[in-house]
Amino acid sequence: GNSVTQMEGPVTLSEEAFLTINCTYTATGYPSLFWYVQYPGEGLQLLLKATKADDKGSNKGFEATYRKETTSFHLEKGSVQVSDSAVYFCVTKGGNTPLVFGKGTRLSVIA
Amino acid sequence: GAGVSQSPSNKVTEKGKDVELRCDPISGHTALYWYRQRLGQGLEFLIYFQGNSAPDKSGLPSDRFSAERTGESVSTLTIQRTQQEDSAVYLCASSLYGEKATEAFFGQGTRLTVV
């Protein structure tokens, strides 16, 4: 079945630092890929998505590109803010399979 | 409703009791998921209702766990003879159903504590 491996946390960065959270996946066929975010005390929400190879998802300054050749979907942001502190989940979904979540990466941004 | 609604938001139960958790999906969403999130952990898949197809129950951890969904509406997750290791936040999500999945919307979860 599908699986996702993402960078172990926690990650602590200073404000305005560059962020990369690595994510690789295994799947049959051509899955859709997502990053979900869970802010402190809030529910899970979609951050960005890509549904086919070479697609770039972007939102709130975050970006991730669907790389079929490396089976990766790394999350990046050029300049993080304190308000980006959250847990980030890389997620894959293919065909009739359920959403498969990575273990999550906790990001803390300090001023 | 505007989003996925779960009830109760919190449930404290004694070990050995049965509990029922409810999920009201977004109207028109034919796909519905249940996940479990233990403290500080990732999301553990439990069950997936996918339109009119048979549900994918492959994530249910034991026969104490079961879930039902009536048509495209409410789903209930039942845990029988609860154990302390069942303590977690139980999350429900719904989405449109199709080959290229659209966004899944999550409820706020039910925090279950077994004492």
DSSP letter for each residue of B18-63: -EEEEEEPPTT--EEEEEEE-TT--EEEEEEEETTSPPB-TT--ST
Smallest CA-to-CA distance from A93 within A75, A63, A77, A73 is with A73
Q: How far is A100 from chain B (nearest CA, A)?
A: 7
Is B86:B114 a contact under the CB 8 Å cutoff? yes
- More confident site: A31 or A109: A109
Residue B1 has pLDDT above 80, yes or no: no
Q: Which residues contact B71 (CB under 8 A, 6 or more apart)?
A: none
Rg (CA), chain B: 13
- Which chain A residues contact residue B56 at CB under 8 A? 96-98
What pLDDT was estimated at residue B98? Answer: 65
Confidence at A84, pLDDT banded by 50, 70, 90: very high
Q: Which amino acid is at A51?
A: T
Residue B100 has pLDDT above 70, yes or no: no
Give the integer Cα–Cα distance in Å for B39 and B60: 18
Residue A96 has pLDDT above 80, yes or no: no
Residue B99 has pLDDT above 60, yes or no: no
Q: Is B35 on the interface with A (CB under 8 A)?
A: yes
Q: Is B50 on the interface with A (CB under 8 A)?
A: yes
Confidence at B52, pLDDT banded by 50, 70, 90: confident
Q: State the average pLDDT over residues B79-87.
A: 97
Q: Determine whether the interchain pair A49/B35 forms a contact, defined as Cβ–Cβ distance below 8 Å.
A: no
User: What mean pLDDT, rounded, does chain B reach?
Assistant: 91
For residue range A9-22, list pLDDT tens digits in order.
899 999 999 999 99
- Which chain A residues contact residue B100 at CB under 8 A? 32, 51
Q: Closest partner residue to A96 among B35, B50, B104, by Cβ?
A: B50
